[in-house]
C-alpha cells in the first residue's frame, strides 16, 4: 500500500494543475478555494423545503396569534409563494444534478477568463466601426456582433439555469447582463427596421461588464452610484437652479430676440438665444461650463442692462457656488489609496486563478523539458566519466597549491591591515567633514543663488542676442563659470556621499543629468563642435537648471513627491477615463459618422440646403463637398473631438455641426437635430465634470499625504 501511495503522490505532483510545492497538502489551496466558490455559486439557491425565512410571510397561525393578516400581507405571501413555485427550479434530483454540472461549467475560472476576453475583443470590434467602410470590413464586424451576442446570450442562459431565476436576479450584475442581452437580441431582431439604429448604442453597455473583472472600474462605478445617491438633494437643487434661470431668461429676454432680430448680422437669429426653453437651458448650461461673454453681449444687443445682473447671478450661483459644491462633494469619496489599491472581487480572483493555472501548466512543461535534457546530459556524462578521472586528480593537486598560496596571501594581508585601517579612518573623517559642509546653510544658500543666477542668464538669451555682442560675451563666460561651479559641487557630493549613495538618490540623479548636459556643451564649445546640430539641440536642455532648486526646497520636494506618488492612481484614473470616453466616442461615431460633410463655395461659405440639397447636386454645380476638420468619422477623431468638448476649447463648432447634421451625403440644415445637444450635455457631466476632476482629487490627496509625512 505504501508503494501505491507513493505512486499516487507522484502522479499528483506531475499534474500541471497541482502545486508540487506543498508537502502536507498536495492540492493547491487556490484550486480548492476556486472550486469551493464555484460550488457555492452553483448551489446558491435553496430548495423550497429548506427555506425557513420565507415561512414568515405565510402567516402560520399559532394559538397566541389573534390578528388576521391584512389583504396586502396575503398578497405579498401569495406573491412570494408563487416565486418559490415558479422561480426556484429544483423539481427533481436529476434536474438538480444537471444544474450542478452547468454551474461547474459556467462559473469555472477559464470560462470567466474567456468571457472577459470576449468583452475586450467585442469592445475592439465596436471601436473599429468607422465611416466609409469597405464591404468586407462591414461583414466582419457584423459577424463578430452575431458571435458575441450569441456568446453573452448563452452565458446568461447557463447562469439562469444554474442559479434559478429567483437567485439569478438577486445580483445586480446578473440583472445588468440580462438587460444587455435582451436589448442586443431586440436590436438583431429589428435590424432591418429603419429609424431604430439607436438600439445599436445599447451594445456599448457591454463595456461596463469589464467592471466585473476590473476592480478599479468597479470601484469607480460603485462610488459614482453611492455619490449620486448621497448628492440627490444637491443634484435636485442644481437642476432647479438651471430650470429657474432658463425660465427667467426665456420670460425676460425671449420677446426681445424676436422683436430685434434685425440687429444681428444678416438679420439671422443667433444659435444661443432665449426664444424657447431648450435654447434657454443650453445658454444656462453653457454659463455653467464657463462661457458666457458672447451670450451676454448678444442679450445686451437686443435688450438692456438687465442682462448683466442676470448673467452675473447665473455665474455666481450656478457656477461658482452650486456647481463647485457639487464637484467638491462628488470628489470627497475618492482617495488615491482607493484607486491605487483596488478591492478584491470574486470574479477577479477567478481570472487570477485561471492565469495561475496557465502559469503552472507552463512551468510543468518547462520542468519536464528540463528533466529530459538532464537525463540526456547524465547519459553523456556517464560515458565520459572514465576519461576525466585522471584530470580530476591533477585538479586536486592544483587546488592544494592554491590553498597554500591563499594562506600566505592572508598572512600578508594581515600584516598590512593596520595601515589600511588608518587610511579608512582618515577617509571616514574627511567624508564626515565634507558631509557636514554640505548641510551648512551658507553652502545651500550659495548653491541656490548660483542656480537662480544661471536661470536668469538663460532667460536673457533671446533672438536679439546676436545684435548685442557685449551681452552675448558676458552670458557666454557666465555660462562657463556656472558649469564649472556646478561640476565642482557634484565632485564634492561624490566625496561626501560616495558613488553608491549618490546614484541611489533620485534628486542626485537629476543634478547629475543637468550638470552633464552643461559639461558636454562646455567641452563641445572648447573643441569647436558647438555648431553641430546635435549639440545645439542639447543646449536647450540647459533650461532644466531651475529644477535643481527643487531638491533643496522642502515645499517643492513635497509637491514633486506628491506628483510622483500619484502616478499609479493617475494611471488608473486615466484608464477609467479612457473607458468612459470610449463609450461616448463609439456612440458619437454611430450618431455622426460621415454627417459633418457640407457643400461650400469658393469662399468657404456653406450653401443653403434649399440651393444644394445633397452631395450629388454639390458636385454637379462644381462646388466643394468637404468635411469639417473635427468630426466623428472614426474613434480616433471622436476622441479628439471629445477632448475639445471636455476642455471647452473649440467645442461650440463641434456641437453646431452635430445639431445641423442630417443623413450621410445630405446638406446640413440649421438645428434640424437639436436634441443631439443632450449627447454633449451628458458627456460634459460624466466625461468632464466628473472624470477630469478625478485627477485633481487624486493629486490633492497625495499632496496631503506627502505633507503629513514631511
User: What is the pLDDT at residue 440?
Assistant: 65
Determine the 3-state secondary structure of 84 from DSSP: helix
pLDDT bucket at 183, cuts 50 / 70 / 90: confident
- Is the pLDDT at 402 greater than 60, yes or no? no
User: Which has the higher per-residue pLDDT, 417 or 121?
Assistant: 121
Residue with cell 467602410: 133
User: What is the pLDDT at residue 619?
Assistant: 92
Nearest to 638 by CA among 52, 55, 131: 131
Lowest mean pLDDT among 234-238, 645-649, 658-662: 234-238
Q: How many CA atoms lie within 13 A of 376 on its CB side?
A: 5
- Is the pLDDT at 396 greater than 90, yes or no? no
User: What is the pLDDT at residue 227?
Assistant: 65
User: What is the pLDDT at residue 62?
Assistant: 45
The CATH class that applies to domain 441-552 reads: mainly alpha
- Is the pLDDT at 361 greater than 70, yes or no? yes
Task: Compute the average pLDDT of residues 266-285.
Answer: 91
Nearest to 119 by CA among 149, 156, 159: 149
Q: Does domain 93-213 have CATH number 1.20.120.350?
A: yes
Residue with cell 543666477: 453
pLDDT bucket at 15, cuts 50 / 70 / 90: very low
Its pTM stands at 0.69
Task: Compute the average pLDDT of residues 342-368.
Answer: 67
Q: What is the CA radius of gyration of the chain?
A: 37
Task: Compute the average pLDDT of residues 671-695.
Answer: 87
φ and ψ at residue 626, rounded to 5 degrees? -120, 160
Lowest mean pLDDT among 9-23, 133-147, 262-276, 278-292: 9-23
pLDDT bucket at 18, cuts 50 / 70 / 90: very low
pLDDT bucket at 462, cuts 50 / 70 / 90: confident
**419-449 pLDDT, tens digit each:** 443 344 444 444 445 555 556 677 778 888 8
The CATH class that applies to domain 220-335 reads: mainly alpha
- Is the pLDDT at 277 greater than 90, yes or no? yes
User: Which has the higher per-residue pLDDT, 68 or 446?
Assistant: 446
User: What is the pLDDT at residue 387?
Assistant: 56
Contacts of 483-492 spanning 24+ positions with Cβ under 8 A:
483/515, 483/518, 483/519, 483/521, 483/522, 485/450, 486/450, 486/454, 486/511, 486/514, 486/515, 486/518, 486/548, 487/515, 487/518, 487/519, 489/447, 489/515, 490/515, 492/434, 492/437, 492/438
Lowest mean pLDDT among 218-232, 367-381, 657-671: 218-232
Lowest mean pLDDT among 60-69, 162-171, 280-289, 650-659: 60-69
Nearest to 216 by CA among 563, 586, 574, 566: 574
**83-98 pLDDT, tens digit each:** 666 666 667 778 788 8
- The set of cell numbers assigned to 120 is 475586450
- The set of cell numbers assigned to 615 is 452631395
End-to-end Cα spacing for the chain = 66
Task: Compute the average pLDDT of residues 189-200.
Answer: 67
The residues, ordered by sequence, that sit 6+ positions from 100 with a Cβ below 8 Å of its Cβ are 42, 43
Inter-CA distances, 458 with 446, 542, 684, Å:
18, 8, 42
The residues, ordered by sequence, that sit 6+ positions from 569 with a Cβ below 8 Å of its Cβ are 336, 339, 340, 698, 701, 702
Q: Do residues 646 and 652 touch, judged by C-beta distance below 8 A?
A: no
Where do the structural domains in the chain lie, given as residue ranges? 93-213, 220-335, 441-552, 558-709
The residues, ordered by sequence, that sit 6+ positions from 31 with a Cβ below 8 Å of its Cβ are 17, 18, 19, 353, 357
Inter-CA distances, 374 with 368, 377, 675, Å:
10, 5, 73
- Is the pLDDT at 464 greater than 90, yes or no? no
Lowest mean pLDDT among 162-166, 185-189, 527-531: 527-531
- For residues 190 and 183, give the distance between their C-alpha atoms in angstroms, rounded to a whole number: 10
Task: Compute the average pLDDT of residues 342-349.
Answer: 50
Dmax (CA) of the chain: 116
Q: Do residues 621 and 246 touch, judged by C-beta distance below 8 A?
A: no
User: What is the pLDDT at residue 439?
Assistant: 61
User: What is the pLDDT at residue 196?
Assistant: 58
Q: Do residues 90 and 50 touch, judged by C-beta distance below 8 A?
A: no
- Is the pLDDT at 301 greater than 70, yes or no? yes
- For residues 26 and 40, give the distance between their C-alpha atoms in angstroms, rounded to a whole number: 23
Burial of 614 from C-beta contacts in 10 A (0-12 / 13-18 / 19+) = middle
Tell me, yes or no, if the two domains 93-213 and 441-552 fold the same way. yes
User: What is the pLDDT at residue 4?
Assistant: 42
Task: Compute the average pLDDT of residues 54-75.
Answer: 54
User: Which has the higher per-residue pLDDT, 120 or 331?
Assistant: 120
User: What is the pLDDT at residue 392?
Assistant: 52
Q: For residue 383, what is the enclosing H or E element?
A: helix 346-384
Contacts of 436-439 spanning 24+ positions with Cβ under 8 A:
437/492, 437/496, 438/492, 438/493, 438/496
pLDDT bucket at 542, cuts 50 / 70 / 90: confident
pLDDT bucket at 666, cuts 50 / 70 / 90: very high
Residue with cell 464586424: 141
**551-601 pLDDT, tens digit each:** 677 777 777 777 777 788 788 888 888 888 998 999 999 899 999 999 998
Q: What is the mean pLDDT of the chain?
A: 76
The DSSP result for 568-628, as a single string, is: HHHHHHHHHHHHHHHHHHHHHHHHHTT--EEEE-TT-PBPPTTT--BHHHHHHTT-EEEE-
Q: Do residues 348 and 213 touch, judged by C-beta distance below 8 A?
A: yes
Determine the 3-state secondary structure of 64 from DSSP: coil
What percent of the chain stands above pLDDT 90?
Answer: 19
- The set of cell numbers assigned to 213 is 473583472
- Is the pLDDT at 48 greater than 60, yes or no? no
For the domain made up of 558-709, give the CATH fold: Helix Hairpins (1.10.287)
- The set of cell numbers assigned to 650 is 473649440
- The set of cell numbers assigned to 225 is 452610484
Task: Compute the average pLDDT of residues 638-652.
Answer: 92
- Is the pLDDT at 248 greater than 90, yes or no? yes
User: Which has the higher per-residue pLDDT, 293 or 230?
Assistant: 293
User: Which has the higher per-residue pLDDT, 56 or 529?
Assistant: 529
pLDDT bucket at 197, cuts 50 / 70 / 90: low
- For residues 579 and 581, give the distance between their C-alpha atoms in angstroms, rounded to a whole number: 5
Which 8-state DSSP code applies to residue 160? H
pLDDT bucket at 350, cuts 50 / 70 / 90: low
- Is the pLDDT at 286 greater than 80, yes or no? yes
Task: Compute the average pLDDT of residues 674-696.
Answer: 87
Q: Do residues 626 and 615 touch, judged by C-beta distance below 8 A?
A: no
User: What is the pLDDT at residue 2?
Assistant: 44
Nearest to 692 by CA among 119, 289, 236, 284: 289
User: What is the pLDDT at residue 683?
Assistant: 93
Q: For 102-136, what is the HEC assignment? A: HHHHHCCHHHHHHHHHHHHHHHHHHHCCCCCCCHH
Amino acid at each position: 500500500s505504501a508503494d501505491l501511495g507513493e505512486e499516487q503522490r507522484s502522479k499528483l505532483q506531475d499534474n500541471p494543475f497541482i502545486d508540487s510545492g506543498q508537502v502536507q497538502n498536495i492540492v493547491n489551496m487556490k484550486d480548492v478555494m476556486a472550486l469551493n466558490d464555484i460550488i457555492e455559486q452553483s448551489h446558491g439557491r435553496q430548495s423550497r423545503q429548506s427555506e425557513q425565512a420565507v415561512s414568515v410571510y405565510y402567516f402560520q397561525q399559532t394559538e397566541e396569534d389573534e390578528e388576521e393578516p391584512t389583504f396586502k400581507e396575503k398578497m405579498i405571501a401569495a406573491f412570494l409563494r408563487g416565486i418559490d413555485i415558479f422561480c426556484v427550479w429544483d423539481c427533481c434530483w436529476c434536474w438538480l444534478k444537471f444544474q450542478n454540472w452547468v454551474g461547474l461549467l459556467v462559473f469555472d475560472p477559464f470560462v470567466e477568463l474567456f468571457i472577459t476576453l470576449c468583452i475586450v475583443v467585442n469592445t475592439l470590434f465596436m471601436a473599429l466601426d468607422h465611416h466609409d467602410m469597405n464591404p468586407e470590413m462591414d461583414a466582419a464586424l457584423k459577424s463578430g456582433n452575431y458571435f458575441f451576442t450569441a456568446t453573452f446570450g448563452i452565458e446568461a442562459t447557463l447562469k439562469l439555469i444554474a442559479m434559478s431565476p429567483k437567485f439569478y436576479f438577486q445580483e445586480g450584475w446578473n440583472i445588468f447582463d440580462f438587460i444587455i442581452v435582451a436589448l442586443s437580441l431586440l436590436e438583431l431582431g429589428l435590424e432591418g427596421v429603419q429609424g431604430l439604429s439607436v438600439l445599436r448604442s445599447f451594445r456599448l453597455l457591454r463595456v461596463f461588464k469589464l467592471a466585473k473583472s476590473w476592480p478599479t472600474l468597479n470601484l469607480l462605478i460603485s462610488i459614482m452610484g453611492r455619490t449620486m445617491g448621497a448628492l440627490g438633494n444637491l443634484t435636485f437643487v442644481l437642476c432647479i437652479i438651471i430650470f429657474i434661470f432658463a425660465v427667467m431668461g426665456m420670460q425676460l429676454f425671449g420677446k426681445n430676440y424676436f422683436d430685434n432680430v434685425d440687429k444681428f448680422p444678416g438679420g439671422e437669429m443667433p444659435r444661443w438665444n432665449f426664444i424657447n426653453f431648450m435654447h434657454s437651458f443650453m445658454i444656462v448650461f453653457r454659463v455653467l461650463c464657463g462661457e458666457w461673454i458672447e451670450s451676454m453681449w448678444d442679450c445686451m444687443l437686443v435688450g438692456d442692462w438687465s442682462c448683466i445682473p442676470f448673467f452675473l447671478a447665473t455665474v455666481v450661483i450656478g457656477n461658482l457656488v452650486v456647481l463647485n459644491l457639487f464637484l467638491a462633494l462628488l470628489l470627497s469619496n475618492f482617495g488615491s489609496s482607493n484607486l491605487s489599491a483596488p478591492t478584491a472581487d470574486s470574479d477577479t480572483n477567478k481570472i487570477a486563478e485561471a492565469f495561475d493555472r496557465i502559469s503552472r501548466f507552463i512551468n510543468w512543461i518547462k520542468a519536464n523539458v528540463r528533466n529530459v535534457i538532464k537525463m540526456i546530459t547524465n547519459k553523456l556524462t556517464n560515458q565520459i566519466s572514465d576519461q576525466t578521472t585522471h584530470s580530476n586528480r591533477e585538479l586536486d593537486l592544483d587546488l592544494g597549491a592554491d590553498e597554500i598560496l591563499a594562506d600566505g596571501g592572508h598572512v600578508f594581508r594581515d600584516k598590512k591591515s593596520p595601515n589600511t585601517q588608518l587610511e579608512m579612518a582618515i577617509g571616514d573623517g574627511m567624508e564626515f567633514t565634507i558631509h557636514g559642509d554640505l548641510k551648512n546653510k551658507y553652502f545651500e544658500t550659495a548653491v541656490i543663488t548660483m542656480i537662480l543666477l544661471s536661470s536668469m542668464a538663460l532667460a536673457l538669451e533671446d533672438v536679439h542676442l546676436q545684435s548685442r555682442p557685449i551681452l552675448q560675451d558676458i552670458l557666454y563666460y557666465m555660462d562657463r563659470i556656472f558649469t564649472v561651479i556646478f561640476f565642482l559641487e557634484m565632485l564634492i557630493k561624490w566625496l561626501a556621499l560616495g558613488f553608491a549613495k549618490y546614484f541611489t538618490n533620485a534628486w542626485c540623479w537629476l543634478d547629475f543629468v543637468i550638470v552633464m548636459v552643461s559639461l558636454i556643451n562646455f567641452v563641445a564649445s572648447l573643441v569647436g563642435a558647438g555648431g553641430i546640430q546635435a549639440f545645439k539641440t542639447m543646449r536647450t536642455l540647459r533650461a532644466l537648471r531651475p529644477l535643481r532648486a527643487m531638491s533643496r526646497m522642502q515645499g517643492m520636494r513635497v509637491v514633486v513627491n506628491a506628483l510622483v506618488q500619484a502616478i499609479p492612481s493617475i494611471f488608473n484614473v486615466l484608464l477609467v477615463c479612457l473607458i468612459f470616453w470610449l463609450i461616448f466616442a463609439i456612440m458619437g461615431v454611430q450618431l455622426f459618422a460621415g454627417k459633418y460633410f457640407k457643400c461650400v463655395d469658393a469662399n468657404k461659405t456653406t450653401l443653403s440646403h434649399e440651393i444644394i440639397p445633397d452631395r450629388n447636386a454639390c458636385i454637379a454645380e462644381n462646388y466643394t463637398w468637404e468635411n469639417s476638420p473635427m468630426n466623428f468619422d472614426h474613434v480616433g477623431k471622436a476622441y479628439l473631438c471629445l477632448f475639445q468638448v471636455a476642455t471647452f476649447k473649440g467645442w461650440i463648432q463641434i456641437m453646431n455641426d452635430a445639431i445641423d447634421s442630417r443623413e450621410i451625403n445630405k446638406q446640413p440644415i440649421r438645428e434640424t437635430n437639436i436634441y443631439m445637444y443632450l449627447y454633449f450635455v451628458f458627456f460634459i457631466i460624466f466625461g468632464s465634470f466628473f472624470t477630469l476632476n478625478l485627477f485633481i482629487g487624486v493629486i490633492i490627496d497625495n499632496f496631503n499625504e506627502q505633507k503629513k509625512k514631511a
